A and B are shown apart, each in its own frame.
Chain A
């Protein structure tokens, strides 16, 4: 029996965080959530995550800083960007960590089934 992919969702907006968690749980992912970057970094240290979906505007840290710190803690985890800024562009620093446009998801995700499929592939390959 294969292990369910473990996804960490980091977003301070409860409806977004919970709706994603519920949907992914229904799709047989193992899901953890965090409201803040600091809480998410703790969770990354405690348990391995296959993928982290992170909002770019967190109350205690910007998403890019979180990805850089999270990558140091868990370099094989796939870090995925979830942003409400329609003109978001990956910075050279994030690209250097292996992120590509395929790792960026814009809010709202209007087709969660398609998102779950993408997530399954990205979680299995990790960053880069």
Chain B
């Protein structure tokens, strides 16, 4: 179990580090150094599973109607005063509500955040002054029955991002993987070159026939 959680932490670390967004409008998390991995509160367990899309994390919570058991998926360094958008791609298999939570050593920054159902959930927030490290997590809201959520992916981007930007990093999860625009560009360039070559050949053949 410990090995699985460590592997999951590692994969999620790659996810966050890999999803850096180059350019002026987004922060690069490539150089983040203070990643601490997965932190699970009491009553929460995690397991790494794999399918054709790669690895995903199954987080299960015991029934506990008086608490909000939380799993922090990753800890990352941030710039105070800057706004960020936190994304998760997940599938909920629980009757209780599951919400985003962004914490720090000075208390919660976002609670309650976006609700996780099926698919992508996003939470926009601004880091308060004096906070240089945040924890991205999910919380089960007073779970009356045991339940679970399958986290396919998480991501953190600078700014108020409505739609996930194209990222240049590599990712093994489908929802946040970088679009391969280069392949489309390559095709269009090749087609253009082909049209030019065929046109020149046509002209040449017409001349030689004349």
Partners in one complex: no
Binding site for A on B (CB under 8 A): none
- Residues of A bordering B, CB below 8 Å: none
